[in-house]
Amino acid sequence: MKKVVLITGGARGIGYGIACKLAAENCDLVICDIQNESDYQANMDNLRTLGAEVLYCRCDITDAAARKNMLEVVKSRFGRLNVLVNNAGVAPSVRADILDATEESYERVMRINLQGPYFITQLVANYMVEQKKSAPETECCIINMSSVSATVASPSRGEYCISKAGISMATRLWAARLGEFNIPVYEIRPGVIKTDMTAAVTEKYDKLISEGLCLQGRWGYPEDIGRAVAMMVRGDIAYSTGQVINVDGGMTVDVL
């Protein structure tokens, strides 16, 4: 039976790169995003061409009722859910020095990047536990998308860094809580990935990469993240709950 994977923020960027890889890996997909499906029709059609059954759910992950409704729709459509990929996230609308940053920006980033994933994980984890109790052979896992910013300080976007550091701790918490049910929880830390989010700073990072920011002298791409997620979904590292995979071209390797 094909695994069913819910990807938040899955209609474009890193989330879509993950979705493409998993569609090719014989998974069925629940794509959660904030816009109408028609805004991403070409991407959804491509996923179906790759062989996936695709359920698109327009859902604001910060809305408790919307999260609950989405899971009910998933249950009705597939009758199961094997994997949650917490990918949805935003950068600050304005990069501001932490001496000047606003509470409004902080609250927005935290709600989307940390609070939403925390409580969608709670909701999905309870459903996964139900599935495991009724059918212990069911394979489930949860994958959190954080960032090198979980450990690398960027004072011009402090709220983003703090949100991703929070995701890192959430990964450990959920790994500890779900270990008894054999539900692994993983974290992926992308580096500099070429997406809409980084489009505004392309020139900056082209220069930094050319000057040696990463050991591997290139941008990362959504498909790089997709490969790491696929490894986890297949169960290749099933005995590694709570672990972090850096997909950053060696950006965070300390070199003397």
- Domain with residue 157: its CATH number is 3.40.50.720
Sorting pLDDT into bands at 50, 70 and 90, what band is 256? Answer: confident
The domain of 60 spans 4-193+221-247
Per-residue pLDDT at 126 exceeds 90: yes
**Helix, strand and coil in the chain, % to nearest 5:** 50, 15, 35
% of residues, the chain, pLDDT over 90:
97
Please state the pTM of the whole predicted model. Answer: 0.97
Torsion of CA 173, 226, 155, 205, to 10 degrees: 170
Identify whether 160 is a catalytic site residue.
yes
Mean pLDDT of 55-75: 98
In a domain, 149, yes or no: yes
Question: What pLDDT does residue 72 have?
Answer: 98
Is 55 in contact with 73 (CB distance < 8 Å)? Answer: yes
Model confidence over 137-174: pLDDT tens digits? Answer: 999 999 999 999 999 999 999 999 999 999 999 999 99
Sorting pLDDT into bands at 50, 70 and 90, what band is 201? Answer: confident
**Candidate list 160, 186, 205, 221, residue with the active-site label:** 160
Q: Rounded to an integer, what distance in angstroms lies between the CA atom of residue 176 and that of residue 228?
A: 22
In a domain, 238, yes or no: yes
Is 141 in contact with 186 (CB distance < 8 Å)? Answer: yes
Q: How many independent structural domains does the chain possess?
A: 1
For residue 98, report the phi and psi dihedrals to the nearest 5 degrees: -65, -15
Is 120 in contact with 66 (CB distance < 8 Å)? Answer: no
In a domain, 225, yes or no: yes
Extract the tokens encoding 9: 């923020």
Mean pLDDT of 88-97: 95
In a domain, 155, yes or no: yes
